Amino acid sequence: MSTDTTPAVDLAGVTRTFGELTAVAAMSWSLPRGQVLGLLGHNGAGKSTTLRLINGVLTATSGAVRVFGLDPLTHGPQVRRHTGVLLSDPAVDRRLTGRENLRFTGRLYGLEADEAAARIDELAISFHLDDRLDEHVERYSNGMRQRLALARVLLPNPSLLLLDEPTASLDPMAAHGVRQLVRDIADSRQRTVVIATHDLIEATELCDQVAVLQRGRVVAFGTPSALASRVSARALHLRISDTDRGNVSDVAVRFGYTIEPLDAGQVAVHGVAYDDVPALVRALVRSDISVYGINIDQPTLTDFYLALHRENPETSDVVAP
């Protein structure tokens, strides 16, 4: 198919429009094999459209998509033989049993019956479905359906996983279970994963790289820590005497910051530029404020994401078909 150095996914100036709506605009990024990329963004930012373009289910209006060096438009079946797609609503047929759904997938992907049967049993055990596998999916809970969908995706042993908000429709417990399964897959480094998610903590934990999308454009791309480090403002937690709160507020205002009273003896000074921290501490001490402790919050991907969206607020959530 291609050499090991060929990126798993390579997008070059990819645009996709639906009538007047531009769902993906001049998107370019490359993902090496074995890495996990998170696509972040509001509804309608272009995450699902991007996944569909990668898998060749949608065609790009312009630009080039390559998956393991192949064009999904001209080599769709070959590309899709190596990809597995998990949607937020599990695409398993409720009128079939779990085993029938998996067998069907095995046949679609050309697995030998014996090989498929062995893999089905193995996956059923891994995903705690073995005792319910011969029941109709209609009787499954949402979490079980999503686990079955994930088993279905993994059955042909795909090299590239495309996960579209895999925990979005699940209750917290079921979401936790699926998240753990995705985490195991990501940790094994045997597969390349592109995951569209709203969950920034999940993205921080799972992803090697994240791309933040706004109205179909990539507005930020990098590792979660690199993106977080771009946030200059952070919160400073001070442990002080309660009688000094007013004085802290006076000092903070001089620097242009606001304070938030926390538990007894604690305040948070928000939006502190990292370079201003020494000067702020000196000013507090000069004002005879007894500082018993200082804790500087490390900025997170969430801080970065929120800061980015404060700078460029989305005006609407127009969702592509």
Partner 1 sequence: MNRTAVLAIAGRDLRIVARSRAVLIPTIAVPMVLLLTPPLTLLAARTAPDSLVSALFPLLTRLPVEMFDRLPNEPARQAVVLLLVYVFAPLYLLVPVMVASVTAADSVVGERERGTLEGLLDSPTTDRELLIGKLLVPWGLATVVSALGAVAYGAVADLVLSQYGLPPSFPNVEWAVLVGWVAPAAAAIGLGLIVAAANRVKTFHEASQIIGIIVLPIVALVVAQAAGVVLFDAAVLALFGTVLWMVALLLLRVSARSFRRDRLLTRD
Interface positions with partner 1 (CB under 8 A) = 18-19, 52, 55-59, 76-81, 83-85, 87, 89, 91-96, 100, 104-105, 107-110, 149, 152, 320-321
51 vs 259 by CB, closer to partner 1: 51
Closest Cα to residue 41, out of 312, 226, 321? Answer: 312
Closest approach of partner 1 to the CB of residue 321, in Å: 4
DSSP bridge pairs for 67 = 9, 70
41 vs 90 by CB, closer to partner 1: 90
Asked if residues 160 and 194 have their Cβ atoms less than 8 Å apart, the reply is yes
Asked if residues 257 and 269 have their Cβ atoms less than 8 Å apart, the reply is yes
Closest approach of partner 1 to the CB of residue 112, in Å: 10
What DSSP string describes 164-211? Answer: ESTTTTS-HHHHHHHHHHHHHHHHHTSSEEEEEES-HHHHHHH-SEEE
78 vs 247 by CB, closer to partner 1: 78
For 96, list phi and psi in degrees, rounded to 5: -110, 165
Closest approach of partner 1 to the CB of residue 16, in Å: 10
CA 180 – CA 175 distance, rounded (Å)? 8
Q: Within 10 Å of residue 275's Cβ, how many Cβ atoms? A: 8
Which pair of tokens denotes residue 27? 């998107």
Closest approach of partner 1 to the CB of residue 37, in Å: 18
110 vs 313 by CB, closer to partner 1: 110
93 vs 184 by CB, closer to partner 1: 93
Residue 168 CB partners (closer than 8 Å, separation 6+): 88, 198
Under DSSP, the state recorded for 243 is G
Helices (H), the chain: 47-54, 76-81, 98-108, 113-126, 142-154, 172-188, 200-206, 224-229, 245-255, 277-286, 301-311
83 vs 209 by CB, closer to partner 1: 83
Closest approach of partner 1 to the CB of residue 110, in Å: 6
149 vs 200 by CB, closer to partner 1: 149
Closest approach of partner 1 to the CB of residue 48, in Å: 10
Closest approach of partner 1 to the CB of residue 57, in Å: 5
Question: Collapsing DSSP states into helix, strand and coil, what is residue 77?
Answer: helix
